[in-house]
């Protein structure tokens, strides 16, 4: 084998920062502090890192890391779905508010007005 005579092993199918996080996890049973951070500034990077680490963990059969990455991706998906629902609710509320205001403008009838 060529690897036995060389001091360096080249891994072409993984980014260096992903490999460093994988190696850190293998030796310390924990991810580096910045690997899957959830602050809003790096949320996209954390999701991307979780995706890359999931692939690497699957390739090298690191089951606990796979579970951590899957959970991170699931939480992100739930968070995005919740945000989308909130945006849709705000849109519906705005629609009904606008419709109510238009009704007042057209008919001159507002809340508390009308037939008695």
Highest mean pLDDT among 9-18, 52-61, 71-80, 96-105: 52-61
Q: Which helix (H) or strand (E) holds 76?
A: helix 63-107
Q: What is the pLDDT of residues 75-100, one digit of tens each?
A: 988 887 777 777 777 777 766 766 66
Average pLDDT, rounded, for the chain? 78
DSSP assignment of 17-38, as one string? HHHHHHHHHHHHSS--TTTT--
pTM of the model: 0.61
> Mind spelling out the 3-state secondary structure of 83-108?
HHHHHHHHHHHHHHHHHHHHHHHHHC
Looking at residue 1, its pLDDT comes to: 52
């Amino acid at each position: 084998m060529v690897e036995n005579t060389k001091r360096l092993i080249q891994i072409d199918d993984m980014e260096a920062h992903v490999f460093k996080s994988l190696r850190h996890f293998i030796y310390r049973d924990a991810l580096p502090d910045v690997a899957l951070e959830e602050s809003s500034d790096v949320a996209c990077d954390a999701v991307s890192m979780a995706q890359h680490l999931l692939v690497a963990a699957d390739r090298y059969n690191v089951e606990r890391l796979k579970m951590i990455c899957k959970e991170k991706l699931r939480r992100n998906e739930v968070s995005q779905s919740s945000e989308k629902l909130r945006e849709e609710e705000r849109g519906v509320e705005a629609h009904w508010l606008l419709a109510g205001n238009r009704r007042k403008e057209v008919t001159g009838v507002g809340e508390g007005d009308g037939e008695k």
